[in-house]
Amino acid sequence: MQLEISERRIGEVVILDLVGRITIGDGSLHLHDAVGRLLDEGRNRLVLNLAGVTYVDSSGIGELVSRHTTTRNTGGRLKLLNLPKKVRDLLQITKLLAIFETFDDEASAIASFES
């Protein structure tokens, strides 16, 4: 299944709901383009809702890290919401979980931009 991304806005926060696979090729490119477009528009308070993500490969992990870094470089923040167990375990094993702010509920993720 190819990665599908839908966008919602709650105040100044943009939530990207991801469904499918974040893999080398279309999946990571689609994520790269979606976040890049938002940053170009000046929207840098981003939440990636990964509840519908079924698989992430090393390229997908690299793209998550890249988008996190790029967002921070614009003065913004990118947070992860609803990590599936496999994705959480992969980020834990690679020691990358520590660089991301992660949340299990949307309200907490949105509220965290105010602190």
CATH at 103 = 3.30.750.24
* Residue pLDDT, tens place only, 37-76: 999 999 999 999 999 999 999 999 999 999 999 999 999 9
- Map tokens 């938002």 to a residue: 38
Residues in Cβ contact with 33 at an 8 Å cutoff, skipping those fewer than 6 apart: none
* 115 within some domain: no
Domain of 27, in residue numbers: 4-110
**Over the chain, what is the mean pLDDT?**
96
* 53 within some domain: yes
Residue 74 in any domain: the answer is yes
Is 84 domain-assigned?
yes
The strand pair at 13-22 and 45-56 is best described as: parallel
Instruction: Tell me the pLDDT tens digit for each residue of 82-113.
Output: 999 999 999 999 999 999 999 999 999 999 99
79 within a domain of the structure (yes/no) = yes
Neighbours of 8 (CB within 10 A): 12
Task: Kindly state whether residue 87 falls inside one of the protein's structural domains.
Answer: yes
Domain tally, the chain: 1
Residue 48 has which token pair? Answer: 């990636």
Helix H or strand E segment including 70: helix 58-73
The b/e string for 75-98 (b: 16+ C-beta within 10 A; e otherwise) is ebbbbbbbbeeebeebbeeeeebe
Place of tokens 């279309």: 26
56 part of a folded domain: yes
Is 67 among the domain residues? yes
The radius of gyration of the chain from alpha carbons, rounded to an integer in Å, stands at: 13
